[in-house]
């Protein structure tokens, strides 16, 4: 029942996909890619990568969220309140390294430290904290947000890399499926021809026109071809199962290719001849900016550059300025009691004498950038050569396909001529079988070449990162 359900699902979706043409039972490459893009688990993982990038930005922005704070410190002993110190407020960090703060202090106690003494109604304060040295142009919070933005952009390229690989693997398996199906059909037809010839030779023997040994040779030919047919049938069945690994539906339901669907026949296959030398040059020129692997290198370099700037900032001295105005609340409004004479300020300064840690970390960051740049150049050259390799294979296979198509026609003419000679008694069954075997081998060869040709055509898009 479970298998029947999966079969019905696949057939119904294929029916809708082919615009309701019930007679169209050919499962095409475009239909395969449609299933992969919409339902394959790897495709869903790719979409999760983008969601992760958005979540990383949201998390990094949390470093700039306003924060409420409150500190309460009390001591009671021997039925006496030694002290009660309350400090609460709000901090608002900003992108520019300035932090705004406002708060309220209310302290009391018989043993309260004099520096914590405030008016009976408490003390309001508000002010800013500014980094004038280290942290003026970049700090850890800003660096993390910049890196998160870079990571979010890189997830799109990572998704392209995943899907590019998945598409190409699926397309290679699709053409293996097409190839084994057409090879099986060749031997299915050859068995029928061998059976027909055996019956004709047997009748000729019974009439006294052919020797008995010809019937034995014809029978052996049937047996040999049946063995080959069974081998190719097994290869086709296994290729069908392997291709089914790429077919999924809603709720992560795996699908299976049934006998109701078939690959295109040899005569139905269209050779995708699209890439010219001019197009190839355009593809190669676009590799540094358009290939997802190169984009990932760019994003990695951007992230490393942010880290380098942060390390360089660490070499500067720390110089932090804090300023708070103070006001005693009276009645409903404490603003009227504001005075420029009531304030609290502080200055913090520090600088390591030798800066060995800071200078070492900065140099390490520069080395990482250089290593990545070397890797980027190497990767770019590898991608370029891979594209050229697929293009050269594409051109060579195009010529071989045309040559072997013509060879199949010539082998067919030789076979027909040999049959005529055999019927007139001027040839032997051995020569007829030999001619037919040569034709079968040529047909198998051209089927394999057509499969390789279409893979090489797709390989150009795959190597250049344009398949997805």
Which domain range does residue 395 map to?
Answer: 23-60+142-304+367-463
What pLDDT does 259 receive?
86
Domain-located, residue 182:
yes
Residue 7 has pLDDT above 70, yes or no: no
For residue 423, CA distances in Å to 197, 252, 413, 418 come to 11, 60, 15, 9
What is the rounded distance in angstroms from the CA atom of residue 313 to the CA atom of residue 143?
11
What is the rounded distance in angstroms from the CA atom of residue 115 to the CA atom of residue 113?
6
Per the structure, the count of domains in the chain is 1
CB distance 269 to 450 below 8 Å: yes
Q: Render pLDDT for 347-391 as a digit per residue (tens, 0 to 9).
A: 999 998 999 999 999 999 999 999 999 999 999 999 999 999 999
- The encoded tokens of residue 402 equal 């045309």
Of 142, 163, 140, 147, nearest to 53 (Cα)? 147
CB distance 125 to 102 below 8 Å: yes
What is the rounded distance in angstroms from the CA atom of residue 179 to the CA atom of residue 238?
12
What pLDDT does 338 receive?
59
Domain-located, residue 317:
no
Residues 6+ apart with CB under 8 A from 430: 217
Domain-located, residue 5:
no
What is the rounded distance in angstroms from the CA atom of residue 86 to the CA atom of residue 103?
10
Phi–psi pair at 46, nearest 5 degrees = -60, -40
The percent of residues in the chain predicted with pLDDT above 70, rounded, is 91
- The encoded tokens of residue 132 equal 């004038």
What is the rounded distance in angstroms from the CA atom of residue 68 to the CA atom of residue 363?
39
Domain-located, residue 346:
no
Of 347, 352, 349, nearest to 314 (Cα)? 352
Residue 339 has pLDDT above 70, yes or no: no
Q: How many angstroms from the chain centroid is the CA of residue 47?
A: 9
CB distance 175 to 454 below 8 Å: yes
Q: Does residue 261 come out as left (phi exceeding 0), alpha (psi in the -120 to 50 range) or beta? A: beta
Neighbour tally for 123: CB within 10 Å: 20
Domain-located, residue 86:
no
Residue 16 has pLDDT above 90, yes or no: no
Residue 328 has pLDDT above 50, yes or no: yes
Domain-located, residue 202:
yes
Q: Render pLDDT for 151-197 as a digit per residue (tens, 0 to 9).
A: 999 999 999 999 999 999 999 999 999 999 999 999 999 999 889 88
Q: Does residue 116 come out as left (phi exceeding 0), alpha (psi in the -120 to 50 range) or beta? A: alpha
- Answer with the residue of higher pLDDT: 418 or 174: 174
Query: Average pLDDT of 303-330?
Result: 89
H or E element in which residue 253 lies:
strand 253-254
- The encoded tokens of residue 297 equal 């290198």
The CATH number for 146's domain is 1.20.1600.10
What pLDDT does 107 receive?
92
What pLDDT does 20 receive?
39
CB distance 177 to 340 below 8 Å: no
Domain-located, residue 115:
no
HSE-CB for 123 with a 13 A CA cutoff: 19
Q: How many angstroms from the chain centroid is the CA of residue 323?
A: 51
Domain-located, residue 272:
yes
Lowest mean pLDDT among 18-22, 247-251, 277-281, 328-332: 18-22
For residue 307, CA distances in Å to 52, 55, 133, 142, 370 come to 21, 21, 18, 11, 13
Residue 125 has pLDDT above 80, yes or no: yes
């Amino acid at each position: 029942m479970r298998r029947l359900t999966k079969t019905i699902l696949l057939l119904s979706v294929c029916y809708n996909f082919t615009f309701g043409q019930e007679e169209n039972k050919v499962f095409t490459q475009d239909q395969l890619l449609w299933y992969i893009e919409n339902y394959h688990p790897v495709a869903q993982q790719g979409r999760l990568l983008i969601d992760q990038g958005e979540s990383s930005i949201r998390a990094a922005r949390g470093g700039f969220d306003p924060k409420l704070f409150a500190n309460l410190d009390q001591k009671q002993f021997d039925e006496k309140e030694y002290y009660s110190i309350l400090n609460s407020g709000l901090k608002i960090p900003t992108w520019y390294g300035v932090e705004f703060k406002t708060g309220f202090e209310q302290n009391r106690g018989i043993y309260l430290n004099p520096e914590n003494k405030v008016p009976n109604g408490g003390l309001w304060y508000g002010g800013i904290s500014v980094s004038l040295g280290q942290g003026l142009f970049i700090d850890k919070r800003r660096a993390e947000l910049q890196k998160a933005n870079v990571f979010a952009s890189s997830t799109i390229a990572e998704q392209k890399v995943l899907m590019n690989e998945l598409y190409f693997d699926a397309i290679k398996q699709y053409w293996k499926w097409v190839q084994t199906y057409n090879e099986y059909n060749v031997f299915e037809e050859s068995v029928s021809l061998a059976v027909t010839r055996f019956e004709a030779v047997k009748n000729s023997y019974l009439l006294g026109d052919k020797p008995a040994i010809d019937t034995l040779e014809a029978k052996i030919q049937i047996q040999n071809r049946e063995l080959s047919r069974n081998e190719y049938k097994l290869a086709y069945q296994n290729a069908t199962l392997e291709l089914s690994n790429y077919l999924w539906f809603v709720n992560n339901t795996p699908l299976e290719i049934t006998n109701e669907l078939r690959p295109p026949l040899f005569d139905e296959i269209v050779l995708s001849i699209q890439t010219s030398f001019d197009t190839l040059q355009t593809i190669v020129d676009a590799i540094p900016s358009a290939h997802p692997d190169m984009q990932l290198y760019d994003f990695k370099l951007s992230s490393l550059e942010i880290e380098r700037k942060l390390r360089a900032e660490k070499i500067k001295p720390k110089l932090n300025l804090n300023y708070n105005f103070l006001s005693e609340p009276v009645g409903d409004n404490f603003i009227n009691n504001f005075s420029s004479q009531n304030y609290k300020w502080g200055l913090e300064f520090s600088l390591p004498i030798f800066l060995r840690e800071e200078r070492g970390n900065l140099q390490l960051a520069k080395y990482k950038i250089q290593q990545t740049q070397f890797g980027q150049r190497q990767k770019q050259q590898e991608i370029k050569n891979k594209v050229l390799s697929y293009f050269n294979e594409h051109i060579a296979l195009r010529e071989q396909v045309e040559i072997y198509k013509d060879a199949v026609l010539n082998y067919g003419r030789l076979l027909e001529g040999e049959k005529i000679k055999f019927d007139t008694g001027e040839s032997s069954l051995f020569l007829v079988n030999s001619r037919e075997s040569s034709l079968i081998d040529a047909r198998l060869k051209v089927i394999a070449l057509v499969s390789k040709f279409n893979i090489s055509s797709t390989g150009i898009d795959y190597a250049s990162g344009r398949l997805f």
